[in-house]
Amino acid sequence: MTTPPTLVTQNLILRPVAITDLDALSAIRADDEVGRFTGGTRTRQDVWFTMLRTYGLWHLLGYGYWTVCERRTELVIGEVGFADFMRAIEPSISGIPESGWIIAPSHWGKGYASEAMIAAHDWLDHACPSRATCIIEPDNLASIKIARKCGYEEMTRSEIEGSPIIIFERPEPDARKS
């Protein structure tokens, strides 16, 4: 059983999810712009289930998602981290940490998603070094840019539930040193 660490960056705090995050995360996930590339908006109940899943990921896999807070204000502005969703896609990425990030639109353009994901990957590289993946819709240029900043390269193109995706891969830490 792994307790999620708290990570602190120049502008952000990445901390374990708390029950008090429900309202803020629900507001973020209800936003149409957030839902545009994340499978649609989410209800409060959906967000609650996601929070429970987040808790379970850490205990089952040793990694998971963090709540992202702006350091200066302590405002909840998103969530980032890793999961294994056992997705039914080809090629399979099951068994490999899959990264993901969501930042509130009011905080877009500040570099927060990149800053948070770089910190999360630094933690992953030390805590459970492995390759990682992420899936991004081809039109989501902002997330593709973030993925590249984190060391991801396009692996292949595929589909999830009939929608096109790009599967990106980030090599294991030792492979990146070569």
CB 117 within 8 A of CB 126: no
Domain that holds residue 120: 7-130
pLDDT digits (tens, 9 = 90+) for 103-120: 999 999 999 999 999 999
Q: Is residue 37 part of a domain?
A: yes
| Residue 146: count of CB within 10 angstroms of its CB | 25
CATH number of domain containing 34: 3.40.630.30
Where b means 16+ CB within 10 Å and e means fewer, 47-79 reads beebbeebeebbeeeebbbbbbbbeeeeebbbb
pLDDT over 80 at 6, yes or no: yes
Q: Residue 136: CB partners within 8 Å, gap ≥ 6?
A: 37, 143, 144, 147, 165, 166, 168
In a domain, 161, yes or no: no
Is residue 59 included in any domain, yes or no?
yes
Q: What is the pLDDT of residue 34?
A: 86
Predicted confidence at residue 178, as pLDDT, reads 53
Q: Report the length, in residues, of the chain.
A: 178
pLDDT at 45 over 80: yes
pLDDT of residue 161: 87
Amino acid, single-letter form, for residue 1: M
Return the H-helix or E-strand segment holding 116: helix 112-127
Is pTM beyond 0.85 here?
A: yes
Q: What percent of the chain has pLDDT over 90?
A: 87
156 part of a folded domain: no
Which is more confident, 14 or 172?
A: 14
Task: Decide if 85 is inside a domain.
Answer: yes
Q: How far apart are CA 90 and CA 121, in angstroms?
A: 24
Number of domains in the chain: 1
Chain centre distance of CA 116:
9
The answer to whether the CB of 12 falls within 8 A of the CB of 69 is yes
Domain-embedded: residue 152: no
